[in-house]
């Protein structure tokens, strides 16, 4: 009797609470005098750096890692509406990145540093720790394989066969007859919003991380009998 070959794709995804937040902060100032713009940007950068260093501890946080760029200075000559070129405008910019383990502290910190002249919050990326990511990746991959087995078993039973035996398991596309995306994908989304105060006071910054979705896909080939 000729073996019946069943090829399927197993999937599984799960959501996990975010454990880290990486925030990008930029400082950008401009003005007619190069030295003045540079000095003001350096002052703001020193203030922001102090806010980071005071909270930096790789082991306990709330800031577990950070980095910064060098100050960039450039100029441009804008044009007015009549087509006349105006006096030069000088710009200075520097960027910082900080990784937080405490999201309550992150909210208070972002609200505080946003008041520094020239500071703007770029993006916040939510993630898992490396150790947690490795653990959940193994679990999600295992569940994706189980999904492939279950799917192949249903196919086999639908044509009157009783059992399946795996003969190949691979990342998507590696069996040679399918094209797929990467085997594991982690997606992190977050939101940053100003929560409106109801008592007339200034609004407070509220950061709400969404869960991290870890998704695994596996291709598998079975012999049904």
SS (H, E, C) 143-193: HHHHHHHHHHHHHHHHCCCCCEEEEEEECCCCCCCCCCCCCEEEEEEEEEE
Q: How many CA atoms lie within 13 A of 25 on its CB side?
A: 30
More confident residue, 188 or 5: 5
pLDDT tens string 164-218: 999 999 999 888 764 444 466 665 444 333 333 334 444 445 577 878 999 999 9
% pLDDT > 70, the chain:
86
Torsion (CA) 203, 204, 210, 211 in degrees, nearest 10: -160
Tell me the pLDDT tens digit for each residue of 103-143: 999 999 999 999 999 999 988 999 999 999 999 999 999 99
Cα gap 153→10, rounded to integer Å? 12
- The rounded distance, in Å, linking the Cα atoms of 122 and 24 is 5
Rounded mean pLDDT, 132-158: 95
List, in order of start, the domains of the chain with CATH numbers: 4-17+131-224 (3.30.110.170), 20-127 (3.30.110.20)
- Can you give the pLDDT at residue 179? 45
| pLDDT value at residue 209 | 84
Q: How much is the mean pLDDT over the chain?
A: 87
For the CA atoms of the chain, what is the radius of gyration?
Answer: 27
pLDDT of residue 200: 43
Distance CA 149, CA 136 (A): 20
């Amino acid at each position: 009797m000729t073996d019946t070959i069943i090829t399927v794709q197993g999937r599984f995804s799960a959501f996990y609470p975010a454990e880290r937040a990486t925030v990008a902060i930029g400082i950008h100032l401009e003005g007619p005098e190069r030295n003045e713009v540079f000095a003001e940007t350096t002052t703001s950068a020193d203030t922001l750096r102090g806010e980071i260093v005071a909270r930096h501890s790789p082991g306990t946080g709330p800031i577990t890692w950070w980095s910064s760029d060098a100050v960039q200075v450039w100029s441009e000559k804008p044009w007015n509406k009549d087509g006349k070129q105006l006096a030069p405008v000088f710009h200075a910019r520097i960027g910082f990145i900080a990784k937080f383990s405490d999201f309550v502290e992150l909210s208070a910190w972002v609200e505080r540093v946003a008041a520094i002249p020239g500071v703007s919050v770029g993006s916040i990326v939510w993630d898992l720790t490396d150790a947690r990511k490795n653990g959940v990746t193994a679990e999600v991959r295992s569940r994706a394989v189980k999904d492939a087995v279950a799917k192949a078993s249903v196919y086999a039973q639908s044509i009157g066969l009783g059992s399946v035996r795996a003969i190949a398991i691979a990342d998507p596309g590696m069996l040679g007859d399918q094209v797929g995306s990467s085997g594991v994908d982690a997606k992190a989304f977050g939101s940053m919003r100003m929560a409106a105060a109801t008592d007339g006071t200034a609004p407070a910054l509220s950061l709400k991380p969404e869960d991290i979705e870890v998704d695994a896909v596996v291709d598998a080939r079975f012999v049904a009998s």
